[in-house]
Chains A and B, each alone.
Chain A
Amino acid sequence: MTRYVMVADLRRCVGCQTCTAACKEGNATPPGVQWRRVLDIERGTYPDVQRVFLPVGCQHCDDPPCMEVCPTTATRQRADGIVTIDETLCIGCSYCIMACPYDARSLTGAAAYAFGNEPIVSEAQRGTRPAGLATKCDFCAARIDAGVARGLVPGRDPAASPLCVNACISGALSFGDRDDAEGPVARLLAENRWFRLHEEEGTGPGFYYLWDREAP
């Protein structure tokens, strides 16, 4: 079996938001919608303070709460673990947005553009999504599928990997098949301490955080 997962090495992440920008540009998300973003978290009391950068987005759960509540089956889970939204079926009811413990989904609204009411040339070229759709990270599924079709390996070959991973300048983000024991993602998980967000929810996130300290 193949189970695609994301691994974020928090020891590497510097919070630069390059992944955020690459995702926004590559997926043409409108202003305010960030399928990938990096949280800037502080804990402790001066002078004993930690500041941690935490990349977040859809966790592509084993048991996605969003899918469970979707009344139209627009939200689905592929055999490789990627959770997708069929835009032709989505009715924008927002149940999934409410159900997601990770605040990973957005509902498209009226068309919005970087510089105001009119699209700039590049935005017009990319087009806009209709209002009333739930959107989120899909691990760049189209790139993965196109890459795999060409014999490429997701997580190893950039043309078959998510844009955020390709763009990450610190090497914090890794992607790949967790079930490929010889693959880089499986090795990272085998060789390092890790945690997942909201483990107590029982969602089985497909997003792992490498961290050598207490979970932020």
Chain B
Amino acid sequence: MKVWVPCDAASVACGADEVAAAIASAAGLRGESVEIIRNGTRGMIWLEPLVEIERDGLRHGFGPMAPEDVPALFEGDEHPKALGPVEDIPFFAQQTRLTFARCGRTDPLSLADYEAGEGWQGLRRALDLGAEKTVEEVTASGLRGRGGAGFPTGIKWKTVAGAEAAQKYIVCNADEGDSGSFADRMLMEGDPFCLIEGMAIAGLAVGATKGFIYIRSEYPHAIRTMGAAIRAAREAGIIGDSLMGQGPRFDLEVRVGAGAYICGEETSLLNSLEGKRGMVRAKPPLPALEGAFGMPTVVNNVLSLAAVPWILTHGGAAYAEFGLGRSRGTIPIQIAGNVRHGGLFETGFGVSLGTLINEIGGGTASGRPFKAVQVGGPLGAYHGPDDFDLPVCYEAFAEQGGLVGHAGFVVHDDSADMLALARYAMEFCAIESCGKCTPCRIGAVRGMETLDRVAAGDPAAIELLHELCEVMEKGSLCAMGGFTPYPVRSAIRLFPKEFSRAQEAAE
């Protein structure tokens, strides 16, 4: 019997290791031979630990499993946690999984599994095409930076390719600090060779021989898996002295962050990589021209780089067929927080916010009425039911004073305290600000204090808060101070009464 039990950190956090141990011991007791494969997660996190068993060539799902549910797996009767064929579960069946095509299906560290699932085909095609045509293919795909800024990846690559330097770098931003985001982690733990392939293609395309993957220290599982995958790819001769034995040199190294959210900002990340304080740098110079160690550098998010193997395998035009307007391709949406069906849902840009929350997400986990969703992490705006028609794409959210960011959607039910959440936004900025620019460093602290005055019923405080938000938005050096006002102002706009309650009570 072939059994899959995910090794993803979210599955493990929900008890996957205990379930795997229970399966091994139950099989031992019955004298049955069971092959347990630790796969990545399918991304249906509310069903984790999601065990899969192969029957008649189809993988059937059972979940969420606990050790006490295991013995029944070996009895013929209908299992109470049976979900049917796992790929027929509507949440999974409705997706367009390009970047996450293999994640959950394979053993993340099996080179044979990777190869069998179109692995290395993108890199082979890039080696055939050569550097210039590879960049053209990425440009044609319309891929834009999935870390949040949405900058066209092809243009970035072209800039680095055109720069003359003795050394160039590919830096993968895996400092996924946004609450509500876990797609980078899921990919690194579930399909690490995909990221390696994407980085190798990037290296080939721009003439870089060295790549760094900067992973946050809060992700110990991802750090271990990426390290093991790099060693395996090197031993197999895929990366190292020559890409697949026929291309130029390209090698990879994992670097571990140290608990600073700001290092997700690309220039701060570069300083951190160089061994400095993670202070934001003023631009220009662009990292594409003066990046890591002063050399031309591609800095791309995990999801941008992991989209590249599919683009090279199937062509940029095929990727561009998905999406809406200037947001091309697919976006791995992460539905999180107080939601019934939380997880990763990869789909073409354009799905509406309401569909995402009510149909795909199944409404709140608590069963209480929906109140607001914060989109794009701690710097993203809150959206209420009035925005349910909004399609998920960069332009539509920007027009509403928000952002898609890294596509983390955190759902709140009607018990959410918006004043407390607005204060938290300022507090988080105060804790994580790098301190380089005054609007962010001082503004966040003043924002906390002003929100405390709002909570105490000070009638002058709200106007002051709006002015402060404007200063932060217009005067900050990067998105940390610049976007922290988004959640604050949107919370006030959507729920003004929660910010005037104390004042009314005082009057």
Do A and B come from the same complex? no
Residues of B bordering A, CB below 8 Å: none
Residues of A bordering B, CB below 8 Å: none
